[in-house]
Structure 1
Amino acid sequence: MSIKTPRAAAGLAALILVAGCSSSGGSPGQAAGATSGAGGSAASSEPLVVYTGGSGDIQPIFNPYLPGALGGGGTIFEPLFFYNTVRSEGAPRPRLGESFSWNDDGTELSISLRSGVKWSDGRPFTADDVVFTLKMITEHKAMNGTGYQGKATATDATHVVIKFDEPAFVDGPQVLGRIWIVPEHKWKDIPDPTKEQLREPVGTGPYVVDELKPQAFTLKANPDYWGGEPAVKKIRFPSLSGNQSGATALKAGQIDWQTGPVPDIANVEQSYPGYKLITTPVNQMVLDTCANAELGCKGPQTDPAVRQAIYHAVNRTQLNALAFENTSAEISPSMALLQRDQAVISGRLQNKVAPMQPDAARAQQILESAGYAKGADGIYVKDGKPVKLTLKTVAGWTDYITAADTLGQQLAKAGIKVTVQQLSYNEWADARGRGDFELMLDSLYQGPAADPFYVYSYFYSTDSTDKVGGTPGANISRFSDPDVDRAIAELKKINVSDTAARQPYFDTIQTRVEQSMPYVPLLTQGTINIYNARKFTGWPTKEDLYAFPAAWQAPDASEIYLRLRPTGK
């Protein structure tokens, strides 16, 4: 695959995520060595070419709260802090914020902001911009991917106090690390920020827009960035026809960073001299289902029995080998990460780990117990309606296309017919948001901190969804369960350090998620990154995973841009 959906933003109102630079906690600009002469003047003018997987004509969307936004959060618009989601760190790294503290009961969050920061048009950044941004997202559900419900007040130019009606400890990383701060003086007159593309963005970030063409856009370093002008002076984002074109461009040395598969992944350094590979299993690969008939979803997948049968019919070992070159890992139906979250995975689950081999008998038993019977063509039928589903994926995403075809063949053996439909990314994203789908290959992104709570609050909360045709947050399955909603609400009130008090609510959520499966778990996706180590230094490594390496991940990508230095080679 390639592009990420912000649901994270998302995902979508567009999905996008979080970032930071120095392992010692210094400012990103300082960590990057972003001042004069990193790599020499000739090296500094060399653009970093980044392929995120985009195809087709580039749309001029720089509003960080819209699907398909260009540039990514953290690059033009910044969060207050960066939280590393792949490796737990003691404290988040400062961006626009410098420090924060909670009162004892978690109902008041006090934030100290960085002074002397300017917007890219020269106007000063102040606490009023933070208050304006927070108020704006509460007034527009499609922009409020974090579910923020506080009330913010500026006590002076560099201090903000946010009050919550109930304890909100878990909201901290979302407010501090997942909300992109926008300038009040530019946004206050926008009639509807959920529809404003924002062709000429003004931000506080390390980059500003340089050039926009149908097949590529370029960002240039912000010379007045508070952390110092970045060492990488220009970043170019081309639009290609898909993964194969990306591999060809890599071979020719025309791309410096690509997130996505290439042939013979095990021999990248031999096939692409000067390039290196890092694979990070974080995002959870799933089959999105439009699951909730009460909110307008239509199709056999609205029946939990069909979703359960799909889960048991998948041959995950074969899927990993054929589509992902064995770069993915096992997944838990709890939707907690197996390595990171092992301590909170419920003992009440039927399976802590999704089976890597199919269980045809179990799939058959589930369907037949739910009243399905096989027709003459071998496809299960109930009430005269066959279990025939359309699986939508993105044209050009070669790994996902292979995965879709493989799943179709596997599910046919279980009496479930799947037709694969390839769409442009824009068509796919539009259908996904509106609920115009039965199945989609996708992945769930992690929250701003190393805690499974965020996956649950994003993708399983009624507050994060909307009826078909409306504009949901991250919960595009339209899943809604009162027990899950209550458990999420209770988790918000508990200090994250009180693991014993949190566990009963994790038990409730995880068992209900396993039973319902609005997102059918496939594998923990190994996010593949190939980067030009000859031209640039400072890339994340397994030993120094200072940000999640993915070209589409925000604000992590911005942290990587700040850390890179051209070599002049």
Structure 2
Amino acid sequence: MRSLRWLLGAATVAVTLGLTACSGGGAPLTASSAAPGGATAASSTGGGDRLLNVYNGGSGQFTLNLNPLAQGTPILTGARGMIYETLMFFNQAKADDVQPVLATGYKVGDDGESITFTLREGVKWSDGKPFTAEDVAFNFRYRRDHEELNTGGAKIEDAEVLSPTQVKISFAEKIYMQVWQIAGKTYMLPKHIWEKIDDPVKRTNDKPIGTGPFLMGDFVPESYTMLKNPNYWDAGKPKIAGVRFWTFNNNESASQALLAGKLDWAGIWMPDPDKQYAAKDPEHNHYNNDSFQYITNLVPNLTKAPMNELAVRQAVNAAIDREQLIKLAFAGLGTPTTLLELPQPVFRDYVSPKYVSAKLEHDPAKAMQILTAAGYTKDGEGYFAKNGKRLTITCHVVSGWSDFISAMQVIRQQLKEVGIEFKSKAVSFSAYTDIGQKGDFQMFIGNAWGGPHPYFFYDNILHSNGFPPKKQNMARYENKAVDDALDTIKVTPPEQQDTVKQALFTIQDHLVADIPYIPLQQPAGLTNYRTQYFTGFPTEDSPYAATASGSDPDVGIVAKTVEPVK
């Protein structure tokens, strides 16, 4: 899905499927009666056997990986949220909305170094065994004992079972800013299975046992299903028989399937969704066009020439005309952003007074002045060079991502006008993931993502302990002052907001000075859904979860909430 690109650590797999492989819009896709995983999936509900048909974007083939602990390799969409659940759900579509899942509540200790969960009773794993406090304690000890699993970074000391419904997790540091990862991004695994596994990251987990609303169904490299868990703890849910995930070569073929009624829920970007989609079937075709909490960036690799040179990053930043870029490549749907890497207006209150009115100015003359001052001179073809080597930048992009590919073409021309040679290299999604993880690139285009507070955004992409696969510091940025500011925020109690803001302002000063990322836009997040067969999707009036068809764990919340049209 367009808005989720660059979530390489938690990326959804993209796969290739010809349009003819989709079931026709008039014939229902039905659920199989059997599913792997030690349980029998429901084959029908009150709404019949039709499956919810979903497309979350991308290219390449599906790989059967359902391990929620996987790092650096894609896992199937739905593993997190539909099969495996967290203790709480933090709704990023609505401010300050935290919902109970496997826990009914939590309390942070007075010293900030512990959190106690009250657990839901009557929950069972999909193999019929009870979900217990021992399972919860095991999950945190497991992450403590396998350091590579503790991607949230909280230093777990111990997990203590206080009663059958209460578990206390203790930490070696204050965890005020990490409750979201602890309660909302730690997926619960059954102790009776995973305590026997010594190499958890490498396991593909093709027969998953979870507490979630769905079970794994059939799988082929072109599509797969997740089917209703008939013994799910949330009575009456899910209301649908199951979900089938599809894929396509590119946006165009996916759009054809959507318009033909073969998809019920998708993340497909299109330049004029009113005309191209909604108007085709006003009764059933709908979309959400939210300004997502992402920033589209050119991501320079600060460990490789020429992007390790500040003057080059400054020149590229000054040479790009964002207004023209958004108009030509993104159909005018994106919004301008700044070097602060903070989505607006959601984080407006966290912007330093210095930068409240900041804009990214298009200044070709300044770009050329910067390079000249850095010792570059133009060669006979009008391109800058130094020490006999032309200033050339190669940027990776995923094949089939038409808007990003269009952006490459616009940027190539804009940089050529100031004397920078810019080349794009289209690769498969799996190759794109691989180069991001390994750092084998000069530059790539993608979206930076954070969480429900600026701390998560900055910690994810800036902290020096966040190189992939642990976090998403794809630029390989290292700055002790930024690390110190982030570490300060992490241990500051919520009531000391002035301290938090001053630390954020320090980070913003370094972002402006260092340009570790080159922002292009704050993208619009387009999610398409059809109500011919299913209703109950999140809307602007009912934002109970993120609408994005590839967002986790939101995909599970949405899939268990939608219901068939009767």
Q: TM-score, normalised by structure 1?
A: 0.88
Question: Aligned with 1:462: secondary structure?
Answer: coil
CA distance in 1, matches of 2:315, 2:193: 51
Which amino acid in structure 2 is aligned with residue 340 of structure 1?
V
Q: Which of 527, 530, 555 is the equivalent residue of 2:528?
A: 530
Q: How does 1:31-70 map to 2 (within 5 A)?
A: 41=45, 43-66=47-70, 67-70=73-76
The residue number in structure 2 matching 1:459 is 461
The residue number in structure 2 matching 1:167 is 174
Which amino acid in structure 2 is aligned with residue 220 of structure 1?
L
The residue number in structure 2 matching 1:214 is 221
- CA displacement at 1:13 relative to structure 2: 13
Q: Which of 481, 484, 490 is the equivalent residue of 1:483?
A: 481
- CA displacement at 1:12 relative to structure 2: 9.2
Matched, 1:224 2:231: yes
Contact 2:395–2:424 (Cα < 8 Å) also in 1: yes
Q: Which of 187, 191, 195 is the equivalent residue of 1:184?
A: 191
Which amino acid in structure 1 is aligned with residue 51 of structure 2?
P
Matched, 1:386 2:393: no
The residue number in structure 1 matching 2:121 is 115
- Structure-2 change in CA distance of 1:282 and 1:141 (3 Å): farther
Which amino acid in structure 1 is aligned with residue 294 of structure 2?
Q
CA distance in 1, matches of 2:524, 2:458: 21
When structure 1 is superposed on structure 2, of 451-460 and 254-263 the one drifting more is 254-263
CA distance in 1, matches of 2:293, 2:137: 31
The residue number in structure 2 matching 1:27 is none
Contact 1:51–1:239 (Cα < 8 Å) also in 2: yes
Aligned-residue CA RMSD (Å): 2.3
Which amino acid in structure 2 is aligned with residue 387 of structure 1?
L
- Structure 1 gaps, min length 5: 15-39
The residue number in structure 1 matching 2:553 is 555
Contact 1:335–1:452 (Cα < 8 Å) also in 2: no
Contact 1:116–1:124 (Cα < 8 Å) also in 2: yes
CA distance in 1, matches of 2:359, 2:208: 44
The one-character-per-residue Cα deviations of 1:392-449 (angstroms, maximum 9, x if unpaired) are 11111111111122222222222221211111111111111111111111111231x2
Question: Aligned with 2:385: secondary structure?
Answer: strand
CA distance in 1, matches of 2:136, 2:298: 34
CA distance in 1, matches of 2:494, 2:342: 16
- Structure 2 gaps, min length 5: 15-43
Q: How does 1:410-421 map to 2 (within 5 A)?
A: 410-421=414-425
Q: TM-score, normalised by structure 2?
A: 0.88
Which amino acid in structure 2 is aligned with residue 251 of structure 1?
L
The residue number in structure 1 matching 2:4 is 4
Which amino acid in structure 2 is aligned with residue 555 of structure 1?
P
Question: Aligned with 1:87: secondary structure?
Answer: coil
- Structure-2 change in CA distance of 1:529 and 1:433 (3 Å): same
Q: How does 1:372-411 map to 2 (within 5 A)?
A: 372-411=376-415
Which amino acid in structure 2 is aligned with residue 476 of structure 1?
M
- Structure-2 change in CA distance of 1:334 and 1:395 (3 Å): same
- Structure-2 change in CA distance of 1:514 and 1:136 (3 Å): farther
Q: Which of 320, 326, 343 is the equivalent residue of 1:337?
A: 343
- Structure-2 change in CA distance of 1:376 and 1:74 (3 Å): same
Question: Aligned with 2:475: secondary structure?
Answer: coil
When structure 1 is superposed on structure 2, of 454-463 and 132-141 the one drifting more is 132-141
- Structure-2 change in CA distance of 1:276 and 1:74 (3 Å): same
CA distance in 1, matches of 2:494, 2:48: 43
Q: Which of 240, 250, 274 is the equivalent residue of 2:248?
A: 240
Q: Which of 496, 503, 506 is the equivalent residue of 1:505?
A: 503
Question: Aligned with 1:43: secondary structure?
Answer: coil
When structure 1 is superposed on structure 2, of 340-349 and 374-383 the one drifting more is 374-383
When structure 1 is superposed on structure 2, of 163-172 and 135-144 the one drifting more is 135-144
- Structure-2 change in CA distance of 1:371 and 1:6 (3 Å): closer
The one-character-per-residue Cα deviations of 1:335-359 (angstroms, maximum 9, x if unpaired) are 222201111101234x75442x521
Question: Aligned with 1:367: secondary structure?
Answer: helix
When structure 1 is superposed on structure 2, of 114-123 and 131-140 the one drifting more is 131-140
The residue number in structure 2 matching 1:289 is 299
- Structure-2 change in CA distance of 1:378 and 1:230 (3 Å): same
CA distance in 2, matches of 1:373, 1:144: 48
Which amino acid in structure 1 is aligned with residue 229 of structure 2?
N
Which amino acid in structure 2 is aligned with residue 150 of structure 1?
I
CA distance in 2, matches of 1:559, 1:540: 10
Paired residues in the alignment total: 530
- CA displacement at 1:171 relative to structure 2: 0.8
Seq. identity, %: 30
